[in-house]
Amino acid sequence: MIGFTDVSFTYDGAARPTLDHVDLAVGEGELCVVVGPTGSGKTTLLRAINGLVPHFTGGRLSGEVSVDGRSTRDYPPRELADVVGMVGQNPAASFVTDVVEDELAYTMENLGLDPAIMRRRVEDTLDLLGLHELRDRPLGTLSGGQQQRVAIGAVLTASPRILVLDEPTSALDPAAAEEVLASLTRLVHDLGLTVLLAEHRLERVLPFADSVVLVPGLGSPLVVGPAAEVMAVSPVAPPLVDLGRMAGWDPLPLTVRDARRQVAPLRLRLEGTQPQVTPRVAIGRRLASLAKVSVHYGEVVALDCVDLALHAGEIVAVMGRNGSGKSTLLSQLAGVRPSHSGTVEVGGSDPASLKPKDLVARVGLVPQDAGVLLYGESVGEECMSADHDAGLAPGTTAAVLERILPGLPADRHPRDLSEGQRLALALAIVLAPAPPLLLLDEPTRGLDYPGKARLVRILAELAANGHGVVMATHDVELVAQVATRAVVLAEGTVVGDGVARDVVCHSPVFAPQVAKVLAPDLWLTVDEVRAALDEEPVSG
């Protein structure tokens, strides 16, 4: 169904190829997960399947990419649309209409399908992806996760034989991600759909994979095979696999159920020990607050009478289902728009009333679409401009970027970066001035596990130095690693607020993988387990 024969691709101006002599074959009716470090070439590989590489991106392509017998050299993306459907990392960029139902029908209208067929497919897709309650909603009022489901649905209505997805669960809450992946699996099993998806949150997707393609980057050859075999050599691995490697389990577990079947010896080794919890930083002065804040978009209530206080030294995870109000909460604190009722204060002032210069001295925001913060012609120019605008010493932003994502070329244009690389650059721009309050919306979207660990260290240092961090996230593993407090939203109201460990360990939805495997004991991360085992007394 999909074939790569000795394919190499180099972006214009790049010093080395992103894809180097790639050979790959993916058969019909297969769900294939593409994994690899941030910036290794996963997105480029996916874009080559529908011809975006090189027809849209430019650059030099050699070798042959074929899709259902068609060469992508001879067929541009629009002539492959009946065979290949693709959803990119930024779903909103693909929208061409204003309302959910119209967006689902748009591709079918372009293909000239009969209205009766269009109606049936729209209804099927609404049910398949749980979108029926959103059918009449304006796209601009949807959360990032809701937009992602609509983008997937808009592609599915055209009934492609191949579906290509880039980070399809990165903006979805855990329950919605599982529903979407289960739906895709049904299409693979029942209809023979071929699915290729790239994802950094491997804990979500590996249980559904028929095969895995590891893209190591730096010109190394692809590694292709069953998930357990590829994970044994992969430099990026989810917590379960990391736990299995440490415990010496064979085969490596891909699901919580698999891990629980092998966990008994590990439980015995941990008996009588407790997680080494990092002492909480003393909570300092109040940095921001919301009092009886309500926000609505037309008839949609995004926040409903929310009270919240945020302090220096805290790392607060804001969690909840898609559309629960997380991004709206951050936008209120950032002064993006005024509330309809209630009072918002940041540093004693209403952020919506502050001049930009005064606002950025108090609060920094990295939105879900990190690209909106980038406007320079190169990574180096972005860093220099950020230093100048914030009054920082030259090289400050570049140094922060190097900590988050080492080795990102300074001469690369931001549009040629992967989503994770763009996010790392935006994070560096906002983190470098170290404002008292940092607001991060899905801050690990597109970051691999090592990149996430580096970000965790930076956030912990900022909190220890008296800054406050608020992150809206669906990444429960990130929450387990660094959050001190978790606030759970549902339909615009706060339904939970407490110590992060307590909130996530007692939630069947938000619990991280290690917590599920070792429950009822309150272990959160592999590092906690590793630290406990390192202190085991030596026998004999």
Determine, yes or no, domain membership for 420.
yes
Host domain of residue 228? 2-241
Q: What is the CATH number of the domain that holds 410?
A: 3.40.50.300
SS3 of 211-272: the string is EEEECCCCCCCCEEECHHHHHCCCCCCCHHHHHHHHHCCCCCCCCHHHHHHHCHHHHHHHCC
**Do 38 and 103 have their domain in common?**
yes
Class of residue 504 by CB neighbours under 10 A (exposed 0-12, middle 13-18, buried 19+) = buried
Determine, yes or no, domain membership for 278.
no
Q: How many structural domains does the chain have?
A: 3
The pTM of this model reads: 0.86
Return the DSSP state at 93.
G
Please name the amino acid found at residue 193. L
**Do 258 and 339 have their domain in common?**
no
**Do 206 and 253 have their domain in common?**
no
Determine, yes or no, domain membership for 277.
no
Report how far residue 428's alpha carbon sits from residue 408's, in angstroms, rounded to the nearest whole number: 12
DSSP string, 53-88: HHHTT-SEEEEEEEETTEETTTS-GGGSTTTEEEE-
Report how far residue 297's alpha carbon sits from residue 303's, in angstroms, rounded to the nearest whole number: 10
Determine, yes or no, domain membership for 72.
yes
**Do 225 and 151 have their domain in common?**
yes
Q: For every one of its 540 residues, what pLDDT tens digit does the chain have, with 9 covering 90 and above?
A: 899 999 999 988 778 888 999 999 999 999 999 999 988 889 899 999 999 999 888 889 999 999 988 899 888 888 888 899 998 877 788 899 999 999 999 988 888 889 999 999 999 989 888 888 899 999 988 877 788 889 888 988 888 899 999 988 887 888 888 888 888 888 898 888 999 999 888 998 999 999 999 999 877 889 999 999 999 999 999 999 999 999 999 889 999 999 999 999 999 999 888 887 766 656 789 999 999 999 998 888 899 999 999 999 999 999 998 889 999 999 999 998 888 899 999 988 999 998 888 888 899 999 988 888 899 999 999 999 999 999 999 999 999 999 999 989 898 888 888 888 999 999 999 999 999 999 999 999 888 899 899 999 999 999 999 999 999 999 999 999 999 999 999 999 999 999 998 888 888 888 999 999 998 888 999 999 999 988 654 433
Return the DSSP state at 300.
E
Determine, yes or no, domain membership for 279.
no
**Do 60 and 82 have their domain in common?**
yes
**Do 258 and 236 have their domain in common?**
no
Q: Which residues pair with 300 in a beta bridge?
A: 297
Measure CA of the first residue to CA of the last residue in the chain; give whole Å: 59
Element (H, E) at 501: helix 500-505
**Do 495 and 533 have their domain in common?**
no
Tell me if 432 sits within 8 A of 390, measured CB to CB. yes
Determine, yes or no, domain membership for 280.
no
Determine, yes or no, domain membership for 344.
yes
**Do 517 and 444 have their domain in common?**
no
**Do 385 and 306 have their domain in common?**
yes
Q: How far is C-alpha 281 from the geometric centre of its chain's CA atoms?
A: 28
Strand 211-214: give its sheet, edge to edge: 84-87, 162-166, 194-198, 31-35, 211-214, 223-225
**Do 156 and 81 have their domain in common?**
yes
**Do 431 and 420 have their domain in common?**
yes
Q: How far is C-alpha 418 from the geometric centre of its chain's CA atoms?
A: 12
Report how far residue 6's alpha carbon sits from residue 214's, in angstroms, rounded to the nearest whole number: 17
Determine, yes or no, domain membership for 281.
no
**Do 88 and 39 have their domain in common?**
yes
